[in-house]
């Protein structure tokens, strides 16, 4: 049973560019969350999607946007990249309710130069 | 607002010994869940153990146990019989409410197991 799959694994972008990161959730999970983890820090919650709608959002600017598709997969888009956006971006899937059921992917490491 | 505090930036332990990683939390919601994750250098967050706020007994999962002291708002992770492969970052996290909403993470503790 496949877990959470994220692509790409590594990415280098230039300031001002736009980037799209992708996530396929674990089979049976319908909720996808995105986290940003700066070097040496714990993950920070960006937003969560359920039924193709943004269900909850953390303290991130509108440059960060997302989408969830009917097959529950998700994209994270970041516009007008800043050097400070360099981080590991983690995707986590879960059922909406019940259990201790967050499963994380291995992340996408984004470097902005 | 929810907050997780991990006060140990780094810990060292000898192989085969036990180690305790500290975690305190703050929330006014009576329903919450506490998690511990292991993050090796590969980056993936690996789930270790979970404790619900209404659980009467401390959670255990193999060599991992959670020392849950509700009145003190602490949820320390105990790893027994440490192995070299336990060397990694360890994060304490909290979910508030009964639904799988966001996790709030601490800053983590880097555990090094020495041979």
Percentage, residues of chain B above pLDDT 90: 89
CA A53 to each of CA A45, A62, A69, A111, B103: distance values in angstroms, whole numbers, following the listed order: 16, 15, 10, 28, 18
User: Please, which pLDDT band fits residue A101 given cuts at 50, 70 and 90?
Assistant: confident
**Residues of B in Cβ contact (< 8 Å) with A105:** 44
Distance from CA of A18 to the nearest CA of B (A): 23
pLDDT digits (tens, 9 = 90+) for A17-31: 999 999 999 998 999
CA B63 – CA A89 distance, rounded (Å): 29
Residue B100 to residue A98, Cβ atoms within 8 A:
yes
Residue B44 pairs in a beta bridge with none
User: Please, which pLDDT band fits residue B1 given cuts at 50, 70 and 90?
Assistant: confident
Name the residue with tokens 């799959």. Answer: A5
Selection from A18, A11, A37, A13 nearest residue A104 by Cα: A37
**Residues of A in Cβ contact (< 8 Å) with B108:** 41-42
Residue B103 to residue A43, Cβ atoms within 8 A:
yes
Residue A100 to residue B47, Cβ atoms within 8 A:
yes
Q: Would you call B85 helix, strand, or coil by DSSP? A: helix
pLDDT at residue A39 tops 70: yes
CB crowding B96-112: b at 16 or more within 10 Å, else e: beebbbbbbbbbbbebe
User: Please, which pLDDT band fits residue A100 given cuts at 50, 70 and 90?
Assistant: low
Estimate to the nearest angstrom the gap between the alpha carbon of B87 and the chain centroid.
14
């Amino acid at each position: 049973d496949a877990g959470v799959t994220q692509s790409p694994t590594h990415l280098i972008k230039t300031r001002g560019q736009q980037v799209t990161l992708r996530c396929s959730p674990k089979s049976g999970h319908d909720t996808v969350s995105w986290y940003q983890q700066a070097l040496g820090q714990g993950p920070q919650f960006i937003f969560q999607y359920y039924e193709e709608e943004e269900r909850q959002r953390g303290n991130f600017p509108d440059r960060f946007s997302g989408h969830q598709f009917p097959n529950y997969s998700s994209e994270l888009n970041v516009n007008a990249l800043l050097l400070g956006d360099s981080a590991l971006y983690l995707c986590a899937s879960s059922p909406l309710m019940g259990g201790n059921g967050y499963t994380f992917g291995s992340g996408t490491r984004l470097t902005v130069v | 607002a929810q907050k997780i505090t991990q006060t140990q930036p780094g810990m060292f332990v000898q192989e085969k010994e036990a180690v305790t990683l500290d975690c305190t939390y703050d929330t006014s919601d009576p329903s919450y869940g506490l998690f511990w994750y292991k993050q090796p250098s590969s980056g993936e967050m690996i789930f270790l153990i979970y404790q619900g706020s209404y659980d009467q007994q401390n959670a255990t999962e193999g060599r991992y146990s959670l020392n849950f002291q509700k009145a003190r708002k602490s949820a320390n992770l105990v790893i027994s019989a440490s192995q070299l492969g336990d060397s990694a970052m360890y994060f304490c996290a909290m979910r508030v409410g009964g639904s799988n909403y966001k996790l709030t993470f601490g800053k983590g503790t880097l555990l090094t197991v020495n041979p």
